[in-house]
Copies of this chain bind each other. A is one copy, B any other.
């Protein structure tokens, strides 16, 4: 069974604002989650504001399921996490979102079902709901201001869920023209310059700089040349960059010669 098929259910317990349900849905969709469960949303269901706030992720709102109690919402699950802002005087394991995501992936790889409980905006989960969970998840936050909104908390868990599925997840949006991006230098269809191309540029530039009298005094020349060469290497120049610089050098040199004639 793939990790995907048994992705965690996200259970919003007594959410107050439809808008926050929609923002949460958009957060889930961005990170490959869609199993939204609602326990008695305050303003009833369906909710127009939830649809509007979800933007393109309205499908997550439309497929959300509603339950009369936390127990009913989690009865098919094998592993349940409760998100809170503090440990709440319960003897229970505490996980960071990152560790929680790793635990959720491990559960999914066993083919078991998991869920994450989020409490209402004003008060968070009550202690009876937390007592139904295997572990508590608490996000790292500033000690000066710690007030994650419901959709912010959902986003962090969803983001860590996607990250936990691979060491190097694909980055960004896939379009008709682009696949996903990866870390490293984006080359936009070109390639890194060869050393022959760079050495040709160095010879051209240094010849013109000698001619212009820039590489002086002679005892400083070697270190000046090294500095300039290092700049080009740090720039990780492409084939096209080398062409551009040869044009720049030729054009500036010609202009200088022009001003002297």
Contact = CB atoms under 8 A, between A and B. Distances in A.
A53 B251 CA distance: 54
| In the complex, the 10 A-B pairs of residues with the closest C-beta atoms, listed nearest first | A140-B169, A32-B142, A138-B171, A146-B173, A138-B172, A87-B186, A29-B145, A85-B173, A89-B188, A94-B186
Interface string A91-102: 111111011000
Contacts of A142: 29-32, 162
25 contacts: A23-B149, A26-B147, A27-B152, A29-B142, A29-B147, A30-B148, A30-B152, A32-B142, A32-B145, A55-B149, A57-B147, A86-B173, A87-B188, A91-B185, A91-B190, A91-B241, A92-B186, A94-B182, A94-B185, A95-B183, A98-B163, A138-B171, A139-B172, A141-B162, A147-B173
A136 to B, nearest CB: 7
Interface in A113-149: 136, 138-149
A75 to B, nearest CB: 22
Contacts of A91: 185-188, 190, 238, 240-241
A163 B23 CA distance: 23
Copies of the chain in the assembly: 2
Contacts of A181: 86-87, 94, 138
A90 interface: yes
Given A56-B145, A90-B188, 10 more contacts: A29-B147, A31-B142, A94-B171, A94-B185, A95-B183, A136-B186, A139-B159, A140-B170, A146-B172, A152-B155
Question: Which of A26, A84, A87 gathers the greatest number of chain B CB atoms within 10 Å?
Answer: A87
**How many interface residues does chain A have, given as a range?**
35 or more
Nearest to A146: B173
Main secondary structure, interface of A, reads: loop
A180 B29 CA distance: 31
Interface of A: 23, 26-27, 29-32, 55-57, 84-87, 89-96, 98-99, 136, 138-149, 152, 155-156, 159, 162-163, 168-175, 178, 180-190, 238, 240-241
Nearest to A185: B93
A86 B142 CA distance: 30
Contacts of A23: 149
A173 to B, nearest CB: 4
